[in-house]
């Protein structure tokens, strides 16, 4: 059998409980959208993704087209249920005979490792159709997994349609499916709306598979946190907390010191080298790479696309965005470094900022500091500007032109002292 895998990602829902004009799958955790996490968790596994869009279709489509070359969006209109949503991708998969994994666009905590284990289980069982389940102490309104006496999968029952005995089951449907597409695809033209909601349920492909004597299984996801879906702002906050705790624990296990985990927030896409210390109240979002033996914080903010080499210090109330910083460079206090390239052994004085944005042209320009540059406190570097190796900039300067190597750059009004001015006033 052809083991090529493609994905269908369900992202058409309205997300009413978010109370937002933005699609719920485009709400962000550490600067990355919920849908982005789902696409990233599967991008090394699948050859192509079909994102089913409905509400806010234009903005979701724009996001996918901008960020993912191997993904395309497919419109579901009107929205007639999850089974109907998957059927929208059927024309694109008409001649495909590999495997299709169905993911929910609001599950940002699902990891690539768990998806791979799910696929391995499916293949080891020679399954035609496998669903992912997990065990919850409080299953609430999730669909229940109903098993046969031999522990094989019988069906999934939506909570609203479940009997009292079925509703007591704690094993729930995560909403992730793996299908041998050639054997399952015809199910989507045979689904019915014979249920409480009058919708085409994706879960009905289980009973369809049983009736057609296909091999049907359920894989239990060990870490139930990964099944947590985003339906409200509270869900978003809770998922962010889980993701952060997972990241901090991983970093500490790999030799990074987190002084106060309760006040430290670090994105999943940030790499940090051993023996780096992260001080309290530091917030790091987006994709970043921080080297070994660095000191970050307290109260530092890294906004993404930041590369910091070994032995650097990014101190209190320093903000860094879209910049590369060479080894043994320090920015200790109250500074902003944006769209910049900083060499090694540089010292950034307190209150220094890179003025990189032109509000008239709406363009951002780059600031370049070569090795061994020293920037005095309260300096403004107006981009585009380049400071040559070894040059010093006097405190309080506004630098608007390039300066060569080993020079002194200074812009400062002459000091005037008026004797007895206060007494005379």
pLDDT of residue 235: 97
Task: Tell which of 179, 199, 227 closes a domain.
Answer: 227
On whether residue 420 sits in a domain, the answer given is no
What mean pLDDT comes out for the span 254-265?
A: 98
DSSP reduced 3-state for 22 = coil
For residues 93 and 204, membership in a common domain is answered with yes
Q: Tens digit of pLDDT for each residue in 14-50?
A: 889 999 999 999 999 999 999 999 999 999 999 999 9
Task: Tell which of 195, 227, 259 closes a domain.
Answer: 227
**Burial zone of 38 (CB within 10 Å; 0-12 exposed, 13-18 middle, 19+ buried):** buried
On whether residue 198 sits in a domain, the answer given is yes
What mean pLDDT comes out for the span 66-70?
A: 96
Judged against a pLDDT cut of 90, whether residue 58 lies above it is answered with yes
Distance CA 357, CA 159 (A): 53
Judged against a pLDDT cut of 60, whether residue 2 lies above it is answered with no
For residues 211 and 238, membership in a common domain is answered with no
Q: What order do you get walking across the sheet with 265-266 strand by strand?
A: 265-266, 283-284, 301-302, 319-321, 336-338, 353-355, 380-382, 398-399
Confidence of residue 1 (pLDDT cuts 50, 70, 90): very low
For residues 222 and 316, membership in a common domain is answered with no
For residues 245 and 212, membership in a common domain is answered with no
Query: pTM to 2 decimals?
Result: 0.92
Nearest Cα to Cα of residue 239 among 40, 55, 42, 30: 30
For residues 272 and 186, membership in a common domain is answered with no
Task: Tell which of 194, 227, 260 closes a domain.
Answer: 227
On whether residue 107 sits in a domain, the answer given is yes
For residues 73 and 183, membership in a common domain is answered with yes
Q: Which of 112-121, 144-153, 395-404 has the lowest mean pLDDT?
A: 144-153
Distance CA 374, CA 364 (A): 23
Contact 307, 324 (CB under 8 A): yes
Q: Tens digit of pLDDT for each residue in 234-246?
A: 999 999 999 999 9
On whether residue 357 sits in a domain, the answer given is yes
On whether residue 419 sits in a domain, the answer given is no
For residues 189 and 138, membership in a common domain is answered with yes
Q: Which of 43-57, 187-201, 402-416 has the lowest mean pLDDT?
A: 187-201
Domain harbouring 252, CATH code: 2.160.10.10
Q: At what angle do helices 112-124 and 34-42 cross, to 10 degrees?
A: 50
On whether residue 421 sits in a domain, the answer given is no
Q: Provide DSSP, 230-242.
A: --SHHHHHHHHHH
C-alpha distances (whole Å) from 162 to each of 157, 209, 274, 283, 329 are 6, 20, 51, 44, 62
For residues 388 and 261, membership in a common domain is answered with yes
On whether residue 221 sits in a domain, the answer given is yes
Collect all residues with Cβ–Cβ distance below 8 Å to 376 and sequence separation of at least 6: 349, 352, 392, 393, 394, 395, 396, 397
Q: How many domains does the chain have?
A: 2
Nearest Cα to Cα of residue 205 among 190, 221, 226, 224: 190
For residues 218 and 250, membership in a common domain is answered with no
Residue 63: what are its φ and ψ, rounded to 5°? -65, -45
Q: What is the DSSP letter of 70?
A: T
For residues 190 and 291, membership in a common domain is answered with no
For residues 135 and 218, membership in a common domain is answered with yes
Q: Tens digit of pLDDT for each residue in 267-290?
A: 999 999 999 999 999 999 999 999
On whether residue 417 sits in a domain, the answer given is no
- Which residues are known catalytic residues? 333
Which pairing describes strands 32-33 and 28-29: parallel, antiparallel, or unpaired?
antiparallel
Q: Tens digit of pLDDT for each residue in 332-386?
A: 999 999 999 999 999 999 999 999 999 899 999 999 999 999 999 999 999 999 9
Distance CA 384, CA 404 (A): 14
Beta strand extents in 105-186 (DSSP E only): 129-135, 144-147, 153-157, 171-180
Domain harbouring 198, CATH code: 3.90.550.10
Domain of 64, in residue numbers: 5-227
For residues 121 and 100, membership in a common domain is answered with yes
Confidence of residue 155 (pLDDT cuts 50, 70, 90): confident
Q: At CA 16, angle to CA 13 and CA 22, rounded to 5?
A: 75
């Amino acid at each position: 059998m052809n083991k090529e895998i493609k994905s269908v990602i369900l992202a058409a829902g309205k997300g009413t409980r978010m109370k937002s004009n933005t699609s719920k799958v485009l709400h962000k955790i550490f600067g990355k959208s919920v849908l982005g996490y789902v696409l990233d968790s599967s991008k090394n596994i699948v050859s192509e993704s079909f994102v089913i869009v409905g509400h806010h279709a234009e903005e979701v489509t724009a996001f996918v087209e901008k960020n993912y070359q191997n993904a395309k969006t497919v419109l579901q209109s009107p929205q007639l249920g999850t089974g109907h949503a998957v059927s929208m991708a059927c024309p694109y998969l008409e001649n495909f005979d590999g495997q299709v994994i169905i993911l929910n666009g609001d599950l940002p905590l699902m990891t690539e490792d768990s998806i791979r284990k799910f696929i391995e289980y499916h293949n080891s069982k020679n399954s035609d159709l496998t669903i992912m389940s997990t065990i919850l102490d409080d299953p609430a309104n999730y669909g229940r997994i109903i098993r046969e006496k031999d522990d094989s999968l019988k069906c999934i029952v939506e909570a609203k349609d479940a009997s009292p005995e079925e509703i007591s089951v704690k094993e729930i449907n995560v909403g992730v499916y793996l299908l041998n597409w050639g054997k399952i695809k015809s199910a989507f033209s045979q689904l019915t709306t014979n249920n409480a909601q009058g919708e085409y349920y994706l879960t009905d492909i289980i009973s369809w598979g049983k009736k057609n004597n296909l091999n049907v299984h359920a894989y239990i996801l060990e870490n139930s946190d990964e099944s947590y879906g985003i339906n409200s702002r509270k869900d978003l906050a809770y998922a962010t907390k889980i993701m952060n705790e997972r990241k901090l624990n991983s970093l500490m296990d790999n030799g990074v010191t987190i002084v106060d985990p309760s006040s430290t927030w670090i994105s999943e896409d940030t790499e940090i080298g051993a023996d780096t210390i992260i001080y309290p109240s530091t917030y790091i979002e987006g994709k970043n790479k921080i080297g070994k033996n660095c000191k970050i914080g307290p109260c530092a903010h890294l906004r993404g696309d930041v590369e910091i080499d070994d032995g650097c210090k990014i101190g209190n109330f320093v903000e860094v965005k879209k910049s590369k910083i060479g080894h043994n460079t320090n920015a200790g206090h109250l500074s902003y470094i944006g769209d910049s390239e900083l060499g090694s052994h540089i010292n950034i004085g307190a209150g220094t900022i890179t003025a990189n944005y032109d509000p008239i042209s709406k363009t951002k320009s780059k600031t370049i500091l070569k090795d061994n540059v020293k920037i005095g406190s309260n300096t403004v570097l107006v981009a585009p500007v380049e400071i040559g190796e070894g040059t010093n900039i006097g405190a309080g300067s506004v630098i608007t032109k390039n300066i060569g190597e080993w020079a002194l750059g200074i812009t400062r009004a002459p000091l005037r002292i008026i004797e007895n001015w206060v007494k005379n006033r």
